[in-house]
Structure 1
Amino acid sequence: MKKVIKNGTIVTAADTYQADLLIVDGKISTIGRDLSDEDVEVVDAKGCYVFPGGVDPHTHLEMPFGGTVSKDDFETGTIAAAYGGTTTVIDFCLTNKGEPLKNAIQTWHDKSKDKAVIDYSFHLMISEINDAVLKELPVVMDEEGITSFKVFMAYKNVFQADDETLFRTLVTAKELGGLVMVHAENGDVIDYLVKKALSEGKTEPIYHALTRPPEVEGEATGRAAQLTGLADSQLYVVHVSCAEAARKIAEAREKGYDVWGETCPQYLVLDQTYLEKPHFEGAKYVWSPPLREKENQEVLWNALKNGQLQTLGSDQCSFDFNGQKDLGRGDFTKIPNGGPIIEDRISLLFSEGVNKGRITLNQFVDITSTRIAKLFGLFPQKGTVSVGADADLVIFDPNAERTISAETHHMAVDYNPFEGIKVTGQPVTVLSRGEFVIRDKQFVGKPGNGQYLKREKYNPKQKEIQKLTK
C-alpha cells in the first residue's frame, strides 16, 4: 500500500523543513505540502522529525573472536539496529590467508541469509596481498559490489597485516576505486606491552587499556595516513578513540590527503575508569581501541563539529558478560573484545550531541547516515530524503525520554555498557524501503526482508565537494 507521512519536520544533512512524503513501491515518490492519493495509508509524524534511516558502517555480527562468537547475529543485531533508527548496516567479512576471498564472502552470505530485517552490505578484510588476491579483487568488486577493504594494524598473529600489505592494498584500491579502512593501532608495540604486563602479574581488565595507550593509536593512524598520501589513495580510519589519532587525521586532511575518520558513541560518553570497576565488571568495557581518559571526549566532539571526524559507527561486537567476557578472568588478554552498541548509537549522538549544542541537527544526520552512504557507495539510494531514494525513514520524537538498560534493550546480550544513562530523543517508527520495521516502538518487521546491497565504487570527488560546502 502507498503511504504518506504527514505533519513531520524533514531533516537532511543540508535542510530542515516541513513537508509530507508520499511513498510508492518502496521509494520516496513525492515531497510536498498537503499530499494525498487514493488508497494511501496516512502516517502522522506530528511533533517529530523525519530523518533518513541511519547507516551503521561498522558492525561485527556473529563474528568469531577469541574462541567464541559474538552474540548478536544478523537477526537480533538488525532488529536492535532498527529499534535504534538504523536501516542499513555494513558488516565486516573476515578472510583467511591462503583461501579464496569468495569463500569468506560466501560464509558471510550464509550467516546473513533470511535473517536481516533491514538492508545490509559487507566490507572485506585484507590479510595478505598476492597474485591470487589481486586477481580476485576486481571480481569481488564487480560481482559482489564490495568496494571497501579493511586492513588490521593490530592483533598480532591473529589479524595484523604488515606495512607492505597495507601499502599495496592502498595502491590497489586507488587503481580499482575501493576505499581502504584501517584498524589503526601498533600491534607490535601492543604485543610487547601485553607480554610485559602479564609477566608482572597485571591481569585485570584495566590493563587492556594500559597496554594499548593512545600513543600506539596515534602512531599507527599517522603511519597509515602517510602511506595513503604516498600512494595517492583513500583511507577511512575506524573507531578513532583519542586526541592523538584525531590530530593525525586532521593533519593529513590539511595536507590534502584523502583521509576520513570515524568515531563511536562509547568514546564520546564513556571513559577509561569504567575498566576499573570491581568484581571483574570492567570486562564489560573491553574493546579495541580501549576507552580513554575523559579529556579525550571533548576532543572527539569538537572533531565531529569541525568536520575533522566525519562519521559515527557502532563497532557492534557483543559478548555476554557471563559465559563469554568472563573467559578472561585472571588474564585480560582472553576477554573477548567488543560491546553491544548498535541499538543506542543514534539516540546517544542526538541526546549528547544535538541536545547539548555540540553538533547541529543537520550535522547529526550527516554523521549518522548521509556521509556514510556517500563514502561507501550507497548514496543517493540511502542516506537522504529525496525523490527516488529508498523510503528508509525514521520518525523520531526529539522529546521522548528513556533510560538505557539491558532490561529493555533488544540486543541478545546480558548487559548494556550505557546502563543507567538517560537520553532524550528516540525513534518511534522506522521504515525500510517503505515497509514498517518498527511501528509505535514495536517490532513489526520480518527476518529475511533485509536485502543485500551491492555498492558503487569510491567517488574521489567527495573531498573536493566537502571543501566547497564548508
Structure 2
Amino acid sequence: MFDLIVRNGQVVTPWGVGDWDIAIQGEKIVAVAANHTLTEESARVIDATGKVVVPGGIEPHAHVHAPIMGHGDLKTAPPEEVSRAALFGGTTTILDFAIQYPGIDISQAIQERTGVWQNNSYADYAHHLMLLGDISDNVLGQLNEHIQDGFSSVKIFTTNIRPPAMSGEPRMVRMGHLHDLMEQVQRNGAMLMVHAEDDDMVQHMYNKLTEQEQTEWWNMHLVHSNESEDVSFRRVLRVAEWTGSPVYFVHVSAREGLAAVQEARANGRPVYGETLHNYCCFNADNYKEDNGMKYHTYPSLKSEEDRASLWRGIVQGGLSTMATDEYCTSWDVKISGRQVTDVTGGHNGAETRMGVTFSEGVSRQGMSLQRFVDVTSGNAAKIMGLYPRKGVIAPGSDADIVLIDPNIKRPLTMNDFHISDYSIWEGFEAAGWPVMTILRGMVAVEDGRLRTGHGSGKFVRRKVDPEVVNRPAA
C-alpha cells in the first residue's frame, strides 16, 4: 500500500528524464515506474501535469543563527526561519557549521549546534565542522572520532576577511596547519572545505585603499580581488597535491578560481568548486547602486566577465554546486556598513536558489534538467556524504521531491519571499519556480502554504563515498 503517488510530471532521475510515476511509502521512495503503471490504491495521488519533478534541493553552505561580524552578540536568522523559507523554495536539506573557536573543543561546538537546531527546523539538516585560527594538536586528534560519527566535512579560512581591528575572532589557518589538517582529512576520508583568499593581499589592499581614501563599499572587489583568489586557490591546491586531500572550494567568485578548479579536475584530482547564485546574476557594477552593499557576499562580486564565466561553469561543467552562503540579516543591519572594512556579507538566498538557477540556467541558458539536479542537489549530496539517501529520485532514497512549474513567468515581488524584510531578488524575472515541496514523504509546501509542523526536520549523519575523495566524482 503506497502512501503517496506523484504522477504525470516530467521526472528527473539519474538514468534520464521521463513521464514516470513515483511511489512513496512512509519516508522513502519505493518505486519509479512508467506512467500509470502503479495501480495500488494510495492515500493520495498528486497530479504533476506540466511540472518538472526533481529531488529536494540541498543547500551545502549556510550560516544559520551565526554571529554577525562587527555586530556584537547579534546573530543571523535562526533555523525555524531559514528552514521554513528554504522549503518554500524547494530546498529540503540545509548544511550549516559547528564552529570550533579557540578555547572550546569540537564536541562543545557540536553541542552548541544541536541546541540551536534540534526540534527547531522544518527541513532536514546537517553540520560541517569549522575550525578557526591556529589548529592545535588536540583538535586535530579529535577529528577522527567526529568524522566517523557522521560529521564528514571540515571548513577553514585562509584569510581573516576583514582588517584585524574589525575581524573579531581570528579565522585564518596558516599553511603549516592546513597541511596537517589535510593529512587528517585524507586519512579519514572526509571533505575539506576552503574559503580561499590570500590574506597578505587582502590586508594590503585594505591599507592601500585607506591611504588613497577609496574606502567606499563599492571598492570591495579591489580588496577581495581576482588575483587574491587565483594565488590562494593555487597554494591550497599545491598543498593538497602533497597530502592527497580532497578540496571543496566554497563560493568561487572569479574566472581564475574556476580555471584552477577545472585544471585540477582535468588532472583527475578530487577537487570541487561551489559558486553562489548572486555571484552568477550580479557583478561589481551593482555595488554602485544606492545601497548597493546589499549585493555583497564575501569574498566579493567581480566583473561581468567573471559573472558570465561562473554561469558557464554551472551550465556546462567545471563547478559542482550552486549554493548561497546563506547569512540572513535585517535590512537595517545589511546596509549599516558603508566602508570596505565593515560591510555585512551574505544574503537571504536559500529560498531563491532553486528557482533562480532554474529560471536562468534551464529556461534562459538551456541547461539540461539532469545538470540542474546535479548542481542544486545531487552533487552536494555526493560531495558531502548524503548520497543516495538524499539528492536523487530513486527507490530507497528519502522522498524529498520538488515540483517546479516552468510556466511561471513574472517578476518576483516581496510577497514571494518568506524571510527577512528585503531581498536582492525583488524584480527578478522568474521563468519557472517551485510550487510544491515534499520532505520525506510529507507534503511540506502546497498552494503557497506551509503544511508541515515546526520541528519536523531531522538531523542527518553523513559519510563521504571513497570514490568522491579520490577522484572528481561529482
Give the corresponding residue for 1:289: 299
Query: Using the alignment, how far apart are the partners of 1:106 and 1:327 within structure 2?
Result: 32
Query: Using the alignment, how far apart are the partners of 2:219 and 2:85 within structure 1?
Result: 31
Would the alpha carbon gap of residues 460 and 97 (structure 1) be closer, same or farther in structure 2, given more than 3 Å must change?
A: farther
Please say if 1:309 is aligned against 2:319. yes
The question of whether the paired residues in 2 share the 8 Å contact of 1:205 and 1:286 is answered with no
In structure 1, give the amino acid aligned to 2:456: N
Q: Secondary structure at the match of 1:110?
A: helix
Please say if 1:51 is aligned against 2:54. yes
Please say if 1:393 is aligned against 2:388. no
Residues 256-271 of structure 1: pairs in structure 2 closer than 5 A = 256-271=268-283
Give the paired residue count: 461
Displacement of 1:246 after TM fit? 0.5
2:423 counterpart (416, 420, 426): 416
Give the corresponding residue for 1:450: 457
The question of whether the paired residues in 1 share the 8 Å contact of 2:382 and 2:468 is answered with no
Q: Secondary structure at the match of 1:228?
A: helix
Query: Using the alignment, how far apart are the partners of 2:32 and 2:205 within structure 1?
Result: 57
In structure 1, give the amino acid aligned to 2:354: I
Give the corresponding residue for 2:167: none
The question of whether the paired residues in 2 share the 8 Å contact of 1:11 and 1:17 is answered with yes
The question of whether the paired residues in 2 share the 8 Å contact of 1:119 and 1:453 is answered with yes
Give the corresponding residue for 1:3: 4
Query: Using the alignment, how far apart are the partners of 1:247 and 1:94 within structure 2?
Result: 30
Which deviates more from structure 2 when the two are superposed, residues 31-40 or residues 220-229?
A: 31-40
- Unaligned runs of 5+ residues in structure 1 are none
Give the corresponding residue for 2:123: 118
In structure 2, give the amino acid aligned to 1:214: N
In structure 2, give the amino acid aligned to 1:456: K
**How well do the aligned residues superpose, as a CA RMSD in angstroms?**
1.8
The question of whether the paired residues in 2 share the 8 Å contact of 1:209 and 1:292 is answered with yes
In structure 1, give the amino acid aligned to 2:320: Q
1:160 counterpart (172, 176, 184): 172
In structure 1, give the amino acid aligned to 2:350: I
Residues 137-286 of structure 1: pairs in structure 2 closer than 5 A = 137-143=143-149, 145-155=150-160, 158-278=170-290, 281-286=291-296
Please say if 1:380 is aligned against 2:388. yes
The question of whether the paired residues in 2 share the 8 Å contact of 1:178 and 1:458 is answered with no
Query: Using the alignment, how far apart are the partners of 1:14 and 1:265 within structure 2?
Result: 27
The question of whether the paired residues in 1 share the 8 Å contact of 2:246 and 2:469 is answered with no
Q: Secondary structure at the match of 1:180?
A: strand
The question of whether the paired residues in 1 share the 8 Å contact of 2:153 and 2:192 is answered with yes
Would the alpha carbon gap of residues 271 and 465 (structure 1) be closer, same or farther in structure 2, given more than 3 Å must change?
A: closer
The question of whether the paired residues in 2 share the 8 Å contact of 1:179 and 1:458 is answered with no
CA displacement, residues 91-150 of structure 1 (integer Å, 9 cap, x when unaligned): 12222013111111111111112211010001111223322112211121223x100000
Give 4+ residue runs of structure 1 displaced > 4 Å after superposition. 461-467
Query: Using the alignment, how far apart are the partners of 1:76 and 1:201 within structure 2?
Result: 39
Query: Using the alignment, how far apart are the partners of 1:348 and 1:463 within structure 2?
Result: 32
In structure 2, give the amino acid aligned to 1:234: P
Q: Secondary structure at the match of 1:196?
A: helix
Please say if 1:12 is aligned against 2:17. no
Would the alpha carbon gap of residues 299 and 444 (structure 1) be closer, same or farther in structure 2, given more than 3 Å must change?
A: same
CA displacement, residues 341-388 of structure 1 (integer Å, 9 cap, x when unaligned): 111111111111111234211100111111111111111110101111
Would the alpha carbon gap of residues 188 and 13 (structure 1) be closer, same or farther in structure 2, given more than 3 Å must change?
A: farther
Please say if 1:37 is aligned against 2:66. no
Displacement of 1:65 after TM fit? 2.4
CA displacement, residues 79-101 of structure 1 (integer Å, 9 cap, x when unaligned): 11111111111112222013111
Q: Secondary structure at the match of 2:336?
A: helix
Displacement of 1:457 after TM fit? 3.1
Query: Using the alignment, how far apart are the partners of 1:113 and 1:208 within structure 2?
Result: 37
Give the corresponding residue for 1:427: 434
Displacement of 1:286 after TM fit? 2.1
Q: Secondary structure at the match of 1:11?
A: strand
CA displacement, residues 9-65 of structure 1 (integer Å, 9 cap, x when unaligned): 111244101111111111111222322333521111111111111111011111102
The question of whether the paired residues in 2 share the 8 Å contact of 1:301 and 1:358 is answered with no
Displacement of 1:70 after TM fit? 4.4
The question of whether the paired residues in 2 share the 8 Å contact of 1:274 and 1:282 is answered with yes
In structure 1, give the amino acid aligned to 2:336: L
Q: Secondary structure at the match of 2:259?
A: helix
Which deviates more from structure 2 when the two are superposed, residues 73-82 or residues 93-102?
A: 93-102
- Unaligned runs of 5+ residues in structure 2 are 165-169
Query: Using the alignment, how far apart are the partners of 2:287 and 2:28 within structure 1?
Result: 45
Q: TM-score when scaled to structure 2?
A: 0.93
Would the alpha carbon gap of residues 163 and 406 (structure 1) be closer, same or farther in structure 2, given more than 3 Å must change?
A: farther
Query: Using the alignment, how far apart are the partners of 2:57 and 2:214 within structure 1?
Result: 41
The question of whether the paired residues in 2 share the 8 Å contact of 1:147 and 1:458 is answered with no
Displacement of 1:407 after TM fit? 4.1
Query: Using the alignment, how far apart are the partners of 1:229 and 1:263 within structure 2?
Result: 23
Displacement of 1:207 after TM fit? 2.1
Once the two structures are aligned, what percentage of the paired residues are identical?
Answer: 31
Give the corresponding residue for 1:353: 361
In structure 2, give the amino acid aligned to 1:130: S
Q: Secondary structure at the match of 1:351?
A: helix
Q: Secondary structure at the match of 2:155?
A: strand
The question of whether the paired residues in 2 share the 8 Å contact of 1:427 and 1:441 is answered with no
2:92 counterpart (87, 95, 102): 87
The question of whether the paired residues in 1 share the 8 Å contact of 2:413 and 2:427 is answered with yes
Query: Using the alignment, how far apart are the partners of 1:20 and 1:132 within structure 2?
Result: 52
The question of whether the paired residues in 2 share the 8 Å contact of 1:393 and 1:430 is answered with yes
Residues 17-28 of structure 1: pairs in structure 2 closer than 5 A = 17-28=18-29
Would the alpha carbon gap of residues 462 and 106 (structure 1) be closer, same or farther in structure 2, given more than 3 Å must change?
A: closer
Would the alpha carbon gap of residues 463 and 9 (structure 1) be closer, same or farther in structure 2, given more than 3 Å must change?
A: farther
Which deviates more from structure 2 when the two are superposed, residues 449-458 or residues 200-209?
A: 200-209
Would the alpha carbon gap of residues 458 and 198 (structure 1) be closer, same or farther in structure 2, given more than 3 Å must change?
A: farther
Query: Using the alignment, how far apart are the partners of 1:284 and 1:245 within structure 2?
Result: 24
Would the alpha carbon gap of residues 138 and 387 (structure 1) be closer, same or farther in structure 2, given more than 3 Å must change?
A: same
Give the corresponding residue for 1:439: 446
Q: TM-score when scaled to structure 1?
A: 0.94
